Amino acid sequence: MLKRTAQNTILVAGGAGFVGSHLCETLLRQGHRVICLDSFLTGSMENVQALCNFREFRLIRQDVVEPLRLSEQVQQIYNLASPASPPQYQADPVHTMMTNVVGTQNLLALAEAHGARFLQASTSEVYGDPEIHPQPEDYRGNVSCTGSRACYDEGKRAAETLCFDYRRRDRADVRVARIFNTYGPHMRPDDGRIVSNLLVQALQGVPLTIYGTGAQTRSFCYVTDLVAGLMALMAVDEAPEGAINLGNPGEFTIAELADLVQRLVPSAAGVVHRPLPEDDPRRRRPDISRAKRLLGWEPRVPLSEGLPQTAAWFARHLGRTLPAPLR
C-alpha cells in the first residue's frame, strides 16, 4: 500500500513516455494532482489511457520547445521530456538538442515563476564512453561533441548546466538525477533499445540483434525502482549538491542479456550480429553510494525478476503466448 502524503499539483513533462507514465500513475495513486505535458513524439496515448480515469489527471499536448504557460499553480515539476532511445533521439538530432536545451530552460523558467521544485531527468550518457568504472558523479565524462550521439549527450549536459545555474542564482530548487539504463512495461515495441528489441524479437521468433560482439556492458534498472528513486530525490528537503546517479549496479554484457532473453522466451531463431553504432559506450555501471547515503534509496528488483515481468507484459501487449522458459 502506498503512503498518502499532502496533495501537490505536479507537472510531469514527458509523462506519456515509458518512465513518465509510471511516474504519473504512482503520483496519482499517492493522491497528488498530475498534469502530464507531452508532445507524443515517442510517448503514447495508450501509456496514459488508464490515467484519464483519475479525476486529478490532466493531459496537455505540447512541445516543451514552445513557450509554456500554465493556468494553475504547480508545486513540483519533473522534466522527463526527451526521446531516450538512440535511434529515436538521432531521428531529428536538432530537435533533440532543442528539447533538452530550450525545453529545459522553458521548464526551469516555469519552476521559477511558480516557486516549484524541479527535477531534471539527466542520463548516464553524460559520462559518454567512460574511462572510470563504475561511474561516480564526480567523473566528468568522455563525450564526443561532434558524433551522432552528441545531440542527446551534449543536450543533457547543457541541460544540467542550466539547472545548476538556476540553482546557484537561487532561481529554482533544482535536483538532477543521472538515470542509467531502465527497462520495464510501457516501452514501445519499436523503441529500438536493447531490452525491448530483444524481448520483441524473441516473442516474434526472429533472430536477436546483437550490435558488435556483445561484449559491451550495461546495468539495467527496473522502472518501479527508478520511479521510487526519482520521487525520493524530489522529496528530500535539501537538494543534494550536484547530480545523483540512479540505476541498478548489476552489470551484464549484451551477450549475457541475449542469453537470459533466450532462456526466458525460447526461440529457434538464434542471434544475428550487426555493426556497433558510432560512439557506443563500451561499459556502464552506476556508483550509487550517494543515492544510498543521501536518499536512502537503492534498487530492489534484480534483472532476474524484472526481465520476466517485462517479457510477460510484452507478450500480453503483442497478443503472444509466452513459451515455457528453459531451466
What amino acid positions are annotated as catalytic residues? 152
Q: Of the listed pieces 98-106, 153-161, 169-177, 190-198, which binds ligand UDP according to CB under 6 A?
A: 190-198
181 is an interface residue for ligand UDP by CB under 6 A: yes
Q: Which of 8, 105, 209, 309 binds ligand UDP (CB under 6 A)?
A: 209
With CB cut-offs between 5 and 8 Å by kind, which of ligand NAD, ligand UDP, none does residue 256 bind? none
265 is an interface residue for ligand UDP by CB under 6 A: no
| Least spacing, CB of residue 85 vs ligand UDP, in Å | 6
Which residues are CB-neighbours of 278 under 8 A, at least 6 positions away? 147, 148, 149
Which residues are CB-neighbours of 207 under 8 A, at least 6 positions away? 201, 269, 270, 271, 272
310 is an interface residue for ligand UDP by CB under 6 A: no
At residue 93, what is the residue type? P
Q: Which of 182, 216, 245, 248 binds ligand UDP (CB under 6 A)?
A: 216
Under rule CB under 6 A, how many of the chain's residues touch ligand UDP? 15
* Nearer of residues 172 and 258 to ligand UDP, judged by Cβ: 258
Q: Which of 76, 135, 182, 197 binds ligand UDP (CB under 6 A)?
A: 197
* Nearer of residues 254 and 301 to ligand UDP, judged by Cβ: 254
Q: Of the listed pieces 21-29, 67-75, 207-215, 225-233, which binds ligand UDP according to CB under 6 A?
A: 207-215
Task: Evaluate whether 36 touches 51 at the Cβ level (below 8 Å).
Answer: yes
* Nearer of residues 40 and 139 to ligand NAD, judged by Cβ: 40
| Least spacing, CB of residue 101 vs ligand NAD, in Å | 11
Chain residues in the site for ligand NAD (CB under 6 A): 14, 16-20, 38-43, 63-65, 80-84, 99, 103, 121, 123, 179, 181-182
277 is an interface residue for ligand UDP by CB under 6 A: yes
For residue 130, cis peptide bond before it (omega within 30 degrees of 0): no
* Nearer of residues 43 and 167 to ligand UDP, judged by Cβ: 43
Residues forming the site for ligand UDP (CB under 6 A): 85-86, 181, 193-194, 197, 209-211, 216, 218, 254, 276-277, 280
